[in-house]
Amino acid sequence: MRYLPHTKEDIAEMLEVVGEKKLEDLFSCIPADCRLEDNLDLPDPLTEWELNDHMLTLSQSMNCGDPKMAFIGAGSYSHYIPETVNYLLSRSEFYTAYTPYQPEISQGTLQGIFEYQTLVSRLLEMEVANASMYDGASALAEAVLMAIRITKKTKVAISSLINPYYRQVISTYLSPTGYEIIELPYLDSGKTDLSDLGDLSEFAAIAVQSPNFFGVIEDLQSIGEQLANEKTLFISCFSEGLAYGLLKPPGQFGVDIACGEGQSFGISQSFGGPALGIFTAKQKYMRSMPGRLVGQTTDVEGKRGFVLTLATREQHIRREKATSNICTNQGLCAMAASIYLASVGGTGLKQLAQLNLDKSEYLKNEFRKNGIEILFDGQTFNEFVIRLPQGSEDRYQELRKKGIVLGVPLEPHYQELKDCYLVCVTETAQKSHMDLLVKEVIR
């Protein structure tokens, strides 16, 4: 649809001023043999990321740089960001907003946080969400501390398939305090193994990630059933929230605390940051939550308003009884996530998630057909693990020199997974790039 801002009347009035009868008369100075009579022969339209790739290819022909193909996920994902996000986020009232020290005066900021809380609560089907944490790692670490406060127990079990960097942050939080961390092994399916835990009631919490670090979808229902009669909290985390456009949300499996990384929701990768920590829980645990929580109320005139309902940090009234020393929330990133979720809607989120799944399954099947081992047989979302022939490090570096990053080598995090790589495909991946990757890997 063309956008023509001028009406026929406007055009007639302007032509009269310049002394012409019709628009074509404005081009009478151009010789007839220099005019294009037919429609332009244009190629089919491209998606935004296809156009970006086309421009990179053109720049290569001018020695302006090589196009890059990176199949990396592992907690930071390349996703399409609607222009509504960047446009609205750049408005000064959002872009320059800071932590409100007289919060009820900042009704716009509070409403934005309230909308964010509502959207992520619906996404995860949890009863209450806070105003956000720093990132997925700090959100999970705070969830573990919260479980310890609630249960008064000193031992926690965390899956070894939780993002390794998240586990490092948990260790940093808990190691100096004397709390015990038990890491759970994994099965051949790529799922967490809970069989050797013994008495579950000894633990303050069991924490798993789904989809986990290998991209495999955990059986949250089975874990929830095991913990149903125990006084042990069930913590479910994630690094790829877009998966819940397709997967059943953690709230359906009796999860007590659901938390994770929200970077996929309209936040650029930006070489590693900033990020967004999503934190939700059952309502009965609300007063033990870290950070802040915005609520909705009415004023003396009956008009809707927003208030800072909960702020259990040391700078407020709780002091030494504070649940956390988290002093603020990721306001701008939370606003980006809100705009993103509102822009794509429930239907759009489902379609995007399906596209991620379909494209990753395509690449997985292409690898399998060409003799590349897919390491785990569990269902994955948009990441999966492949094993290359022994001594693959040289091949990996050769691909990098060609501008192709195969994925994340897993040996630094899991010593037993030598020559194994975590490969990620999102909706921005092109079929031609995936086909080229397979061709280069098997060469």
Verify that 105 and 162 share a domain, yes or no.
Answer: yes
Return d(Cα 182, Cα 170) in angstroms, integer.
11
pLDDT computed for residue 65 by the predictor: 42
The answer on 168 and 316 residing in a single domain is: yes
Determine, yes or no, domain membership for 220: yes
**5 inside domain:** no
Assign residue 387 the CATH number of its domain: 3.90.1150.10
pLDDT tens digits, one per residue of 217-230: 999 999 999 998 88
Tell me which of 281, 309, 342 is where a domain ends.
342
Reported in sequence order, the residue ranges of 78-232 that DSSP labels E, i.e. its strands, are 128-129, 155-159, 180-184, 205-209
Report if residue 31 sits inside a domain: no
What is the domain extent for residue 331?
83-342
Same domain? For 433 and 332 the reply is no
Indicate the SS3 state at residue 431: helix
**Residue 312 covered by a domain:** yes
303 and 351, same domain (yes or no): no
Q: How far is CA 59 from the centre of its chain?
A: 30
What amino acid is encoded at 231 in this protein?
A: K
Please say if the pLDDT value at position 417 is more than 70.
yes
Are 161 and 209 in contact by the 8 Å Cβ rule? The answer is yes
Domain final position from 342, 359, 375: 342
Would you say residue 371 lies in a domain? yes
The pLDDT assigned to 64 comes to: 45
CATH number of the domain that residue 321 is part of? 3.40.640.10
At 185, the amino acid letter reads: P
pTM for the full model? Answer: 0.83
| Domain membership flag for residue 111 | yes
Domain count for the chain, please give it.
2
H or E segment at 355?
helix 331-369
Same domain, 195 and 234: yes
Q: For the segment 134-184, what is each residue's pLDDT rounded down to a tens digit?
A: 999 999 999 999 999 999 999 999 999 999 999 999 999 998 888 999 999
In a domain, 30, yes or no: no
The pLDDT of 100-118, averaged and rounded, is: 86
pLDDT digits (tens, 9 = 90+) for 353-396: 999 999 999 999 999 999 999 999 999 999 999 999 887 888 88
DSSP state of 417: -
Can you tell me the distance from the alpha carbon of 152 to that of 436, in angstroms, rounded to the nearest whole number? 54
Residue 110 and residue 103 in contact, taking contact as beta carbons nearer than 8 Å: yes
Given a cut of 60, is residue 67 above it in pLDDT? no
Give the end of a domain, one of 327, 342, 357: 342
**DSSP one-letter string for 28-91:** TTS-GGGS--SPP-PPPP--HHHHHHHHHHHHHHTTS----EE---TT-------HHHHHHHTS
Average the pLDDT over each of 88-102, 262-276, 345-359, 360-374 and give the range with the smallest value: 88-102
